[in-house]
Amino acid sequence: MFQTLALLIIPTLCFRLLGALGVTRLATWQVSFAHGLAVLVLFTGASHFLPDSVEAAPSHDDLTAMVPSFVPFPDFMVYLTGVLELLGAVGLILNRTRPLAGIGLAVLFVLMFPANIYAAVEDIPLNGEAPTPLWFRLPEQIVFIAVALWAAGVPMQTAVSARLRSLVPARSR
């Protein structure tokens, strides 16, 4: 259950340590998290192409089984999302493409979340293991989305503040 989260946190800490040791490219938490997220989506994206014979990660067939019935061409969609994740990983590493990659991955994480819900509700195993329970997967997904947006440079406090201000009538402020 914690493997995916660890696949973000451990590389991020390693990148940040390198930054503390003088690798200027990794001198901030924001960039270290962007690289950590790139490691995560590199692994998860690659799993979209794995045959069943590889037992270290969910296979293409495992991921296809997660696709809800309302999504057309499930086999193709798994390949497509795998390609998008791999492109997002590369995009997070490059400074000039990081904003687009981060926003693109955040959108992709939102669009793919119904597959995680479907897998949990229908009890669809991944690599022979039970799906991640929703009580864990939802906050985990929120973390991935927030990290992707932060890596993209989207000011989270500003976005949340603007949304909250829009909910309060102008006379009340």
Q: pLDDT tens per residue, the chain (173 residues)?
A: 688 999 999 999 999 999 999 999 999 999 999 999 999 999 999 999 988 888 778 889 999 999 999 999 999 999 999 999 999 999 999 999 999 999 999 999 999 999 989 988 999 888 888 888 888 888 999 999 999 999 998 876 655 556 556 666 655 44
Residue 47: CB partners within 8 Å, gap ≥ 6? 57, 58, 59, 60, 63, 82
Give the helix ranges, DSSP H, for 29-122: 29-47, 60-66, 74-93, 98-121
Record the tokens describing residue 61, joined without a space: 């067939």
Q: How far apart are CA 35 and CA 19, in angstroms?
A: 12
Where in the chain are the domains?
Answer: 3-172
- C-alpha distances out from residue 75 to 72, 114, 116, Å: 9, 16, 16
pTM: 0.86
- Convert 46-69 to b/e letters by CB count within 10 Å (16 or more is b): ebbebeeeeeebbbbebbbbbbee
